[in-house]
Amino acid sequence: MYPNPRASALLVLTLVAASAAWAKTSDRNQEMIIDAGHQEADYSDNGQVVWTQGVVVKQGTLTISADGGTLRMRNGDPSQASFTGKPVKLRQQLDDGTWMDAQADRIDYDMSNETLTLTGNYTVTSPKGSNSGQKMVYNTKTGGMQAGGDGSRVRTVIKPKSAQGNAAPAASNESDER
């Protein structure tokens, strides 16, 4: 089953908003391709679209790969997008040409408060360093980030400028569970 144009347009808006702070600006104007083993959809005002059996979303330099994904609607507008897997992987080129990689067991984007939440063994890496732990909440509008606070440890690695090349290191899980 192919998604209808309305649901596809809403998903585009959802994912573009979720990755806006990290995104290569030109990605927003690229077509989005969603590939999944199976799709079920309820296109009502409060419905949802569910992708299972492996989901890959591509838009410009943005790639998200997950075991499954869900787009929830509220009053005809997208309200939340969720991707699950062990792990969900997100990769995107930034405007400066470097790459950002993120992975987590779950990635959620809530449109009402414009927050991206990475839950379960998350790691975000870029040439500047990495951040890892069990939960990170990132506000795509303000750039504010909160991690930890739930009893788990958070690890941040900041590379010296001399070590900040153009290639991002491979994503790794460096969470420190003390």
pLDDT at 165: 66
Whether residue 65 has pLDDT greater than 70:
yes
Give 3-state DSSP helix, strand, coil % of the chain, rounded to 5: 10, 50, 35
Alpha carbons 42 and 159: distance in angstroms, whole number: 46
Alpha carbons 90 and 71: distance in angstroms, whole number: 17
pLDDT at 61: 93
Q: What is the pLDDT of residues 82-122, one digit of tens each?
A: 999 999 999 999 888 999 999 999 999 898 898 999 999 99
Whether residue 64 has pLDDT greater than 60:
yes
Question: Higher pLDDT residue, 39 or 4?
Answer: 39
In the chain, the domains with their CATH numbers are: 5-163 (2.60.450.10)
Instruction: Output the pTM of the full model.
Output: 0.76
The pair of structure tokens assigned to 85 is 């897997």
- Classify burial at 161, counting beta carbons within 10 Å of its beta carbon; exposed 0-12, middle 13-18, buried 19 or more: exposed
